Structure 1
């Protein structure tokens, strides 16, 4: 086999490995049968339409959207000043701080979820919604710090210094000079945090409770009782949503420059 054919064969295998599961899920959701199966038993859109009528999915989708949007905003509110301080000032133990901030994505999610349940939720008795919000904010914070840091590192310091020399305060220079120039990185961090939070499972699984679930956890619970193709249809819709968000971010923001 020629090197060219070998390269094409390897590429085909890689694409099959990456795209194959999505194709199976999409086709399984199109099944006309009453049970989850592949190949599908006929073709029908009934399960794609049914997911919009399941009340538990509607409630958990709203919870996931709330956590993804406001958890990401809270993480950015903490992460932007942290990234600025770590890049612009000589912070004692800066590398240790970076490591600690990165801990939620280094430590396995199951350990993080169990730790939060045992040492935060149970001792304090806080509500499930607040616990999920704090957990998702902590999980997104490392992405916010890293992505925004990449933008700040590429911003020349003399631009900010010029604003200060012209009479602007440090905060004013940050607000009028730094933020407008790193908005692409901030938006990229928001999108990455949103997708990460929305698709988060291990931590949410430990912290969910009666009547309060994120959509991925609710899908797992649904499959314990029902084994119809609606979960496959919903999974396909969520995959399309995630791909569309990342594609739009790459097209309009140059997403790959920040991650």
Structure 2
């Protein structure tokens, strides 16, 4: 039995090394003082973190990514909250089909989805690139909004809502005064997860960006094609810190067990 536990411990250690090793290597190489990405680094320098702000397109595309993620999040919330409520509250014909449609952007390969949006939104309907990019990011955020808020609603006692209705509150007032406050933590968690999905997205953005409009991940990809310095490692380090902070907030709000329900 003791040998079995030792074997499981060693296996778990190997898994952690496999998962965290690349992140640790990227973190170390971001402090390389030389002009070439190298591991282990030959010294310690913060010059490549400074270089992020010297390359004009990085702050510009960072702003675009933030705006697209926030606006897309707002649109996804306007669509996703009523959809999650209806799917959790009512039983009706075609409910499973509708739920599958809402979750399909997660199941369809990103390249296929991005090419389809490019063909129809930009080529066929001639939408502006910024509008098409916003629609694309809204679509990929919607499943996360519905899934997380739906998980939050699954633990909500709808008898409270019925009590409010029986006491004379209208449906809208009940929804905004009773239902939403009780799932507030779920909404915040959904917004944070959807934000991360949108901000780090590459496949949809690759097809939907165009001249003068790009997102930070696409600009990072373009930079790597032309330069081999540690600037991208420095950006990756900052993005890892941002992701870790947001995941910590999500865990404090709901706990990761919420996302394994249903």
Contact 2:185–2:253 (8 Å) recurs in 1: no
Determine helix, strand or coil for the equivalent of 1:2: helix
1:95 paired residue number: 96
Contact 1:102–1:142 (8 Å) recurs in 2: yes
The TM-score, its normalising length taken from structure 2, stands at: 0.95
Deviation string 1:109-153 (CA, Å, 9 cap, x unpaired) is 000000000111111211111111000000000111111111112
Could you say what the CA RMSD is over the residues aligned between the two structures, in angstroms?
Answer: 1.3
CA distance in 1 between partners of 2:15 and 2:156 (Å):
37
| Residues 131-210 of structure 1 mapped to structure 2, 5 A cutoff | 131-210=132-211
1:206 is displaced (CA, Å) by 0.7
Number of aligned residues: 259
Contact 2:105–2:143 (8 Å) recurs in 1: yes
CA distance in 1 between partners of 2:243 and 2:222 (Å):
22
Indicate yes or no: 2:106 matched with 1:105: yes
1:60 paired residue number: 61
1:32 paired residue number: 33
Deviation string 1:179-218 (CA, Å, 9 cap, x unpaired) is 0001111111001100110110001001111121110000
CA distance in 2 between partners of 1:3 and 1:91 (Å):
50
Unaligned runs of 5+ in 2: none
1:254 is displaced (CA, Å) by 2.7
Contact 1:64–1:215 (8 Å) recurs in 2: yes
1:13 paired residue number: 14
The TM-score, its normalising length taken from structure 1, stands at: 0.96
CA distance in 2 between partners of 1:243 and 1:125 (Å):
38
1:255 is displaced (CA, Å) by 4.4
Q: Are the structure 2 counterparts of residues 238 and 82 from structure 1 closer, same or farther at C-alpha, using a change threshold of 3 Å?
A: same
Unaligned runs of 5+ in 1: none
